[in-house]
Amino acid sequence: MSIARRTLVAAAAALAFAAPLAAQAQAQAQDIKPRLIRFGYGLNENSNQGRAAKLFAEQVQKASGNKMKVRAIGAAALGPDTQMQQALIGGAQEMMVGSTATLVGITKEMALWDTPFLFNNAKEADAVLDGPVGQKVMDKLQEKGLVGLVYWENGFRNLTNSKRPIAKAEDLDGIKLRVMQNNVYLESFKLLGANAVPLPFSELFSALETHTVDGQENPYNTILSSKFYEVQKYVSVTNHVYSPWIVLASKKWWDGLSKDEQKVLLEAARASREFERKDTREEGAKALADLKAKGMQVNEVPVAEVAKMRGKLAQVNEGIAANVGSDLWKETQGALSTLRKQ
Ligand code: TK8
């Protein structure tokens, strides 16, 4: 090769290296492109979950002076809860909100929140979730590649189905009931006599519509926002469990943020929690009347029958205590009895 030709080859090689470097330097210099955060969730935009996700996005954008931009993506467009959790762990998605119940396969301590009839009211739920027990359970996520920011309210769950009013456990006999992908729910509803089938939420409406399943259980808000009244006739009031949602970040991604960025996200998450709980409770208070107006038939399960259901589920509690560890179980019971004495 001639000298001239060799020089040319070397120059071309240098250019090939230099071009991407130059592009990188330019991007850094500009640095005006906001950091994009994909925040996935399962319900519709027009739901308590959607409204709170929107508020979170607005808060982040404002507090970061437009340097961070949250794209809230609903209706499970990024996949159901379990799929998004994996995307967060792998670093392919930044944030999400979903049920704690679908996280149990990753962090077994989350099963604490599946305990039937754990909380008597929302005040107890707030105190325990936002207190040391809630934080302890949340912190367990880190070793699995997730960062828990705050709990939102999904709410007390009630039964709906297309067959008959459920006034006692025996009425569940033979009812094909969709449950979340979670063993406590599966076992609990089997114990109560239902034919329990785990399904992702994103498949639920069509499973109800096509009668693949007869019923499901969710808070009034969700029954309303997901239009389950179009495919379900009966609502039976059991309040069998309080279900939290949890706002999550990918740990892989979170660890690469500056302290300031983390602070913006945490503060926005806390603001979204206050907004979401208030909004959910306001909507929940009217939702039953709205469901009636949509043509659903509502029945209260008598207190004595609820107590019988509770009795049948006692063995579930033992399993949960063993799974989450007896220290955590006892600490939770202790926190609740302190609250109940106040
Ligand atoms: C939404 C779900 C939903 C939950 C369920 O993605 O699956 O029934 O109650 O809120 O997490």
Structural domain of 296? 33-341
From CA 173, how far away is CA 232, in angstroms rounded? 17
Q: Whose CA is nearest to atom 6 of ligand 1?
A: 42
98 Cα nearest atom in ligand 1 = 11
Query: Cβ(167)–Cβ(236) under 8 Å?
Result: yes
Residue 232's pLDDT is 98
Pick from 218, 221, 225, 240 the residue to mutate for probing ligand 1's pocket: most ligand atoms within 8 Å of its CB. Answer: 218
Model pTM above 0.85:
yes
191 and 221: one domain? yes
- Ligand 1 center to 16 CA (angstroms): 50
Residue located nearest, by CA, to atom 4 of ligand 1: 99
- Reading the chain (342 residues) residue by residue, the pLDDT tens digits are 555 555 555 555 554 555 555 555 554 545 578 999 999 999 999 999 999 999 999 999 999 999 999 999 999 999 999 999 999 999 999 999 999 999 999 999 999 999 999 999 999 999 999 999 999 999 999 999 999 999 999 999 999 999 999 999 999 999 999 999 999 999 999 999 999 999 999 999 999 999 999 999 999 999 999 999 999 999 999 999 999 999 999 999 999 999 999 999 999 999 999 999 999 999 999 999 999 999 999 999 999 999 999 999 999 999 999 999 999 999 999 999 999 999
- 43 in contact with ligand 1, CB cutoff 6 A: yes
> Do 251 and 278 reside in the same domain of the chain?
yes
The predicted pLDDT at position 28 comes to 54
Residues 5 and 99 in one domain: no
CATH of the domain at 287: 3.40.190.170
Query: Are both 187 and 43 inside the same structural domain?
Result: yes
Residue bearing the CA closest to ligand 1, atom 10: 99
AA letter at 226: S
Question: 159 and 12, same structural domain?
Answer: no
23 and 159 part of one domain: no
The pLDDT of residue 71? 98
Residues 263 and 133 grouped into a single domain: yes
Q: Indicate whether residue 40 lines ligand 1 (CB < 6 A).
A: no
* Strand-pair partners of 242: 156
- Total domains, the chain: 2
* Same-domain status, 132 and 271: yes
Number of Cα atoms under 13 Å in the Cβ half of residue 78: 24
CB of 200 sitting under 6 A from ligand 1: no
Task: Check residue 32 and give its pLDDT.
Answer: 74
pLDDT score of 31: 59
Same domain, 11 and 141: no
Residue 132, Cβ neighbours under 10 Å: how many? 10
Q: Are residues 113 and 1 in the same domain?
A: no
**Same domain membership, residue 7 and residue 101:** no
Same domain flag for 150 and 289: yes
Residue nearest to atom 7 of ligand 1 (CA): 201
The DSSP line for 253-267 is HHTTS-HHHHHHHHH
Taking the C-alpha atoms of residue 336 and residue 134, their distance in angstroms, rounded to an integer, is 12
Residue 201 Cα to ligand 1 middle (Å):
5
Contacts of 236 (CB under 8 A, 6+ apart): 158, 159, 160, 161, 165, 166, 167, 298, 299, 301
Pocket test for ligand 1, best of 152, 197, 222 (most atoms within 8 A of CB): 222
Q: How far apart are CA 141 and CA 107, in angstroms?
A: 6
